[in-house]
Structure 1
Amino acid sequence: MLRLDGVVKQFGAKRAVDGISLGVPSGQFVGVIGQSGSGKSTLLRMINRLGDPTGGVIRFGDVDVTALKGRALRQWRARCAMIFQQFNLAGRLDVLTNVLMGRAFHAPAWRAVLKLWTDEEKAMGLSALESLDIARLAGQRADTLSGGQQQRVAIARALIQEPEIILADEPIASLDPRNTQVVMDALQHINRHFGITVICNLHSLDLARKYCDRLVGLAAGRLVFDGAPAALTDHVARDLYGLESADVIGPASAPGFVPGAQPGLALAGS
């Protein structure tokens, strides 16, 4: 289980993440929702240790993630793969080579730098691409692909890390509706078929409700909702999203609605 205990991230006087405590059992598909600037990306980056917490502890099983350094930290990042909004591919390299970079931790450093992959590793990369229906693109330069194809390459790269957790930071933010569905279907398949825990930042409540087992809502860096998708009513969502609610669920229909009001939220731990 992944467990966060009182995790804080402070930038000057601002707390981007403010005392979040959360447990995520293995195999869950968790959607992290909330307004822009609510702390969603900061939270995922701390779990991956791309950013260090100001306070609190992150644990995975008996491992204190917040204390890791050197090789142990690199090993954690292999176990806890990250998928980014902007894909983070090497555009001039072919698709298969981009995917195989996910094996960098598992190979000797000199071999990873020289990109001297074994036949077994190449087979793993092709298998990952095949599972995402893009094996035919293995020899194509990454910068010639569509956004949806590039994101699937990034997912394949994460998959061959053989991770126990995949963190996806707004993975469909720049995609059209068709590619959005393809990418979300791919993440759901990985979660259900391989049993890999997926924690995914999402802006669309429709997608969050459709794909996730559990939703975690943040507001001003604090955990204010934690429950099943069915428990996130439109009324609660309007409270959570405030002025952005019209973008994610349509305009408020109830008279007297005050954007940003807090009553009605299902408080975490209540």
Structure 2
Amino acid sequence: MLEVDGLTCRFGAKTAVDNASFSVQPGCFVGVIGRSGAGKSTLLRMINRLEKPTGGRILFEGVDVTALQGRDLRRWRARSAMIFQQFNLVGRLDVLTNVLMGRLAGVPQWRSLIQLWPQDDRAIAISALEQFDMMPMAAQRADQLSGGQQQRVAIARALVQQPDIILADEPIASLDPRNTRIVMDALLRINKHFGITVICNLHSLDLARTYCDRLIGMSAGRIVFDGVPAALTDTIARELYDLEAGEVMDETPDFVTGTLAPAFGTAAVA
């Protein structure tokens, strides 16, 4: 179980996250919602330890994540895989190599530098690309892909880390409706089939209500709502989003999630 206890982050005089506390059971799909600047990204970056908390603790399975350093911290970052809004791929490298970067935590540095990846790792990366229909582009440079394709590669890279948690920071912010559906469906399949916990920052309330089991609402760095999507009334949503409420509540997806696509094969990624 992931436990966030009194987590705070300050940048000078600005408090980005203010005394956030919550716990997440394994296998949940949690949506973090709120207006721009509410502290959503900082919260996820602190859980992954890309940002250092000013106060509070992060516990996972009883281990104090906020105290980790060195190799233990690198291992934690592999177990809590990040997916970013801007993909964070290495554009000059091919797709397969970008996915293999997700295996760095378990590979000696000299192997990664000369791109001499173990065959088992290559098999895991190829399996992940096949699951996202990206294997035909394995040899293509990442910067030649569309935004939706790049995000699928980024999700494949996160999956090969064999994480306990996936932290997705506005993963569909720059995508069109079709690719939004593809990416969100991919995250949902990972969550339901592998039982991997997903914590996903989302701006659209409709998407959050469609995909998430639980919503955490943030405003000015504080958690002001925590519950199931059905409990988030329009009144609460308007208070949460303030002037942005019309924008996020008028977005009605032109799709409805139906039966999940065939489950991913588990042999290569188990």
Please give the TM-score of this superposition, normalised by the length of structure 2: 0.92
Q: How many angstroms apart in 2 are the aligned matches of 1:114 and 1:199?
A: 34
What corresponds to 1:234 in structure 2? 234
Alpha-carbon shift at residue 112 of structure 1 (Å): 1.6
Kindly provide the CA deviation profile for residues 52-72 of structure 1, in whole angstroms up to 9, marking residues without a partner as x.
100000000121000000000
Q: How many angstroms apart in 1 are the aligned matches of 2:193 and 2:205?
A: 24
Kindly provide the CA deviation profile for residues 58-109 of structure 1, in whole angstroms up to 9, marking residues without a partner as x.
0001210000000000000010000000000011111000000100111111
Asked if residue 166 in structure 1 is aligned to residue 147 in structure 2, the reply is no
Alpha-carbon shift at residue 250 of structure 1 (Å): 3.3
Kindly provide the CA deviation profile for residues 99-127 of structure 1, in whole angstroms up to 9, marking residues without a partner as x.
00100111111112221112221111010
What corresponds to 2:121 in structure 1? 121
Kindly provide the CA deviation profile for residues 151-193 of structure 1, in whole angstroms up to 9, marking residues without a partner as x.
0000000000000000000000000000000000000000001
Q: How many angstroms apart in 1 are the aligned matches of 2:115 and 2:234?
A: 50
1:97 is matched by which residue type in structure 2?
Answer: T
Kindly provide the CA deviation profile for residues 228-257 of structure 1, in whole angstroms up to 9, marking residues without a partner as x.
011111111001000000110139xxxxxx
Asked if residue 44 in structure 1 is aligned to residue 59 in structure 2, the reply is no
Q: How many angstroms apart in 1 are the aligned matches of 2:28 and 2:38?
A: 22
What corresponds to 2:90 in structure 1? 90
Q: How many angstroms apart in 2 are the aligned matches of 1:25 and 1:112?
A: 34
What corresponds to 1:19 in structure 2? 19
**Correspondences of 1:47-126 after superposition (within 5 Å):** 47-126=47-126
Q: How many angstroms apart in 1 are the aligned matches of 2:118 and 2:8?
A: 42
Secondary structure of residue in 1 paired with 2:85: coil
Q: What is the Cα-based RMSD across aligned positions, in Å?
A: 1.0
What corresponds to 1:224 in structure 2? 224
Secondary structure of residue in 2 paired with 1:162: coil
Q: How many angstroms apart in 2 are the aligned matches of 1:144 and 1:52?
A: 34
State the percentage of identical aligned residues: 70
Q: What 5-or-longer segments of structure 2 have no aligned partner?
A: 252-270
Equivalenced residue count is 251
Q: How many angstroms apart in 1 are the aligned matches of 2:113 and 2:56?
A: 36
Asked if residue 202 in structure 1 is aligned to residue 202 in structure 2, the reply is yes
Please give the TM-score of this superposition, normalised by the length of structure 1: 0.92
Secondary structure of residue in 1 paired with 2:154: helix
Q: How many angstroms apart in 2 are the aligned matches of 1:14 and 1:108?
A: 40
Q: How many angstroms apart in 2 are the aligned matches of 1:62 and 1:250?
A: 41
What corresponds to 2:144 in structure 1? 144
Q: What 5-or-longer segments of structure 1 have no aligned partner?
A: 252-270
Q: How many angstroms apart in 2 are the aligned matches of 1:219 and 1:70?
A: 33
Q: How many angstroms apart in 1 are the aligned matches of 2:158 and 2:146?
A: 19
Moved over 3 A (4+): none
2:84 is matched by which residue type in structure 1?
Answer: F
Alpha-carbon shift at residue 197 of structure 1 (Å): 0.3
What corresponds to 1:264 in structure 2? none
2:34 is matched by which residue type in structure 1?
Answer: G
Q: How many angstroms apart in 1 are the aligned matches of 2:205 and 2:189?
A: 20
Q: How many angstroms apart in 2 are the aligned matches of 1:230 and 1:4?
A: 24
What corresponds to 1:188 in structure 2? 188
Kindly provide the CA deviation profile for residues 194-247 of structure 1, in whole angstroms up to 9, marking residues without a partner as x.
000000000000100000000000000000000001111111100100000011
Q: How many angstroms apart in 2 are the aligned matches of 1:191 and 1:97?
A: 24
